[in-house]
Chain A
Amino acid sequence: MKRLWYSEPVRNCRRVSPPPWPAAVFLFFLLAAEAFAWRFGVAGLAVRPPEVGILAILVLGLGTTFYGIYRVFGFHPNLRPKYREWLRMTAWHSPQRLPLGPVTLTLMDGILLLVATALLWARHPTIPPLRAALIFSVSYLLSMAFALLTSGPRGFGYAVLFGIGGILMAASDLVLGIGIALTTYFVAWGGLRLALINLREVDTKSIERYFLRVAPRGIRAAEISTVFVGWPFGYLGPNRTLPHASAFDVVCLAGLAGWLLASFRVFFCYVVGPGVTDEDLRLLGCLAYVGATMACGLRMLVFWINHRPPISVLGRLATFRWVIPSYDRAFAAPLAGMLVLWGFADLVLLRRGPPSLAGVSLLLTVALLVAFLPGPSLRAWALTSECRIVAQKPPAQLER
């Protein structure tokens, strides 16, 4: 018995089981919701309407979602910086087991999902019982994607997000949905393996952040931000932090925007049922149009906010410098993106007949690619263009 208790699968089960307090709170709310359903369904009314059970389904869905998030955020070293730095200082290396418990799925996850599925099946027979597993997989995979995108390898993070789109798209076919979820899980697992292998690479700056360089008064020098340093040091210093997205990121994000739009539309159709009309799709297309236009505007704003033209509009007109190539080139791509949107809107949204979902998704992806893929990068442009650097002075935060 003792050997079984300390065996690897059982130890893993114990380590990944939900913490007692959140579990108790979840059970309390679930029991309360079930009691509510029983009181009004059985004792209060002659016939139990399906709506009274919705609260219990909601609690079960929320519990499953939070458990999926907990399974990644509670155990992934890259999402717990102090845990990661401690691991780096020890002799631990991949593929050894993580001391606080695995991020990958264990027997305990299977047991808990089985319980959730059984509950769903027994208490709410109208709901497909595998829905609990699907909700868990989406929240778990989203958390994995977050970890992969923030600490690498980013390519796997994007692949997982594409997989989540696939799960949503296959919502009407549970078996296909579970199949895509499993495939996406293996992609996330591969990314996790690589991330854990790279964890051993010693990054002295990162270690320093948590253990070394304590200035007088106990100030951890490495933890002090260099972003909000004000004017002029935060703007004219050699190590200025500026937002940057690589071409790979732009291509993946633009593709994801189109793909997820289509996925959510299909999922929405499945949830709402036959009530969805073509006009709803036109509305979705309009929202995508507005969103993409705002993204183009945002790119221009990010460039313009601290980097103004060297001369005023009047000065440009008077000195016949109507175009200042080194400055104005930053705004060419987003303006082109807006033009693409304008042109495609006629073809996709304003034509007679129902708009096509593929057309709307493509419109979004192409516009984002046109707006964000061409250069210049903000960093290179800010350092070399004929811009006039201006500081932003938030009223309360930065002021002398």
Chain B
Amino acid sequence: MPKPTIRVENLTQHYGVRPVLRDINLDIYAGELVAVIGPNGMGKTTLLAAIGGVHSPQKGSVTIAGLKRRSSPAAELEIRRKSVYLPDTAFLPRTMTAREFWISVGKIYEIDYDRLFDHIERLVALFELEQVVDSPISSGSAGQQKKVALSAALITDTPILLLDEPLSGGLDASGILALRKVLQRLVADRHATIVLTAPVPELVEQLASRVVVLRAGSIVADGTVEQLIARSGRGRSLADALELLFFPKTADHVADYFQDTRRFQDTSR
């Protein structure tokens, strides 16, 4: 059995009194593309931030590439060299151009200049950023800025990518397609380890090799898309399976909503 690239053990996280994550245990291996999905406010972002080193868990631990997070300065720096965390909202330096920004990120991650300049050109072509690459970042649209942030994460060349909602935030169809293909190739060709969050299952169904479902701060399901569909018994897609397994009340809520609406319309007539 290979050692997991990311190991989360008994992780409990809370800011105040109410726990956001409860006793999470998760092993993620090299070459896996794991999607963490679940309703809003269930702890997806907090889990990714804890793995990414933003939060220090109240209980439990996060181990990346065999090194425990925050165990020593050397171990933490080594983890930072091997992994990159991109939150849903990144604060980018508005006055820098995208090219300058990527160069500075590359310098932080000690990427060789020749490799860095070449990678920048390829990313510009990939995300169709030719028009904005040498303009201040603030001049780009929300989608273009999202592409700049995603490109910065890819620039780091780290084997572990932790991406919080990379497919949302104004990305256009070609951007989503390009990112999906790149992530799949990174996993297939370079054996990268990718963990991403997504609010809706449709976005990750064709992308993830494994899906982790979070609800109320706990993992309620963990498996491949096929396993989750099979577990539901009747579902034809991941969205169907999740609805049947974990969100059965959603259909009732929708029915209730329209029942109320009909009643209102009847009364108004």
Contacts and interface: CB of A to CB of B under 8 A. Distances in A.
Interface of A: 213, 215-217, 219, 221, 224-226, 228-234, 236-240, 310-312, 314-315, 318-319, 321, 379-380, 383-389, 391, 393, 396-400
Given A312-B15, A400-B145, A400-B149, A230 B92 contact: yes
A311 B55 CA distance: 10
Interface in B103-128: 103-105, 107-110, 113, 116-117, 120-121
A384 B149 contact: no
A226 B107 contact: yes
B53 A389 contact: yes
Nearest to B121: A216
9 contacts: A219-B100, A224-B103, A229-B93, A230-B91, A233-B84, A233-B104, A236-B52, A383-B73, A398-B94
B14 A315 contact: yes
B95 interface: yes
B247 to A, nearest CB: 30
A314 to B, nearest CB: 5
A234 B113 contact: no
Interface string B1-37: 0000000000000111100000000000000000000
Contacts of B55: 310, 388-389
Interface residues of B, number: 53
B90 A239 contact: no
Interface string B85-99: 111011111111001
A189 B25 CA distance: 64
Interface of B: 14-17, 52-58, 70-73, 76-77, 80-81, 84-87, 89-96, 99-101, 103-105, 107-110, 113, 116-117, 120-121, 134, 138, 142, 145, 149, 152, 156
B90 to A, nearest CB: 6
B70 A386 contact: yes
Nearest to B18: A315
B101 A229 contact: yes
Given A224-B104, A232-B54, A389-B54, A238 B109 contact: yes
A226 B110 contact: no
Given A221-B113, A384-B70, 8 more contacts: A215-B103, A216-B99, A224-B103, A230-B92, A238-B110, A315-B17, A319-B58, A400-B142
A315 B94 contact: no
A213 B90 CA distance: 28
A399 B91 contact: yes
B80 A231 contact: no
B104 A225 contact: yes
- Max chain B C-beta neighbours (<10 A), residue from A225, A237, A379: A237
Given A231-B87, A319-B17, A383-B73, A237 B56 contact: no
Please give me the 4 A-B residue pairs with the lowest Cβ-Cβ distance, nearest first: A237-B108, A386-B56, A231-B91, A238-B80
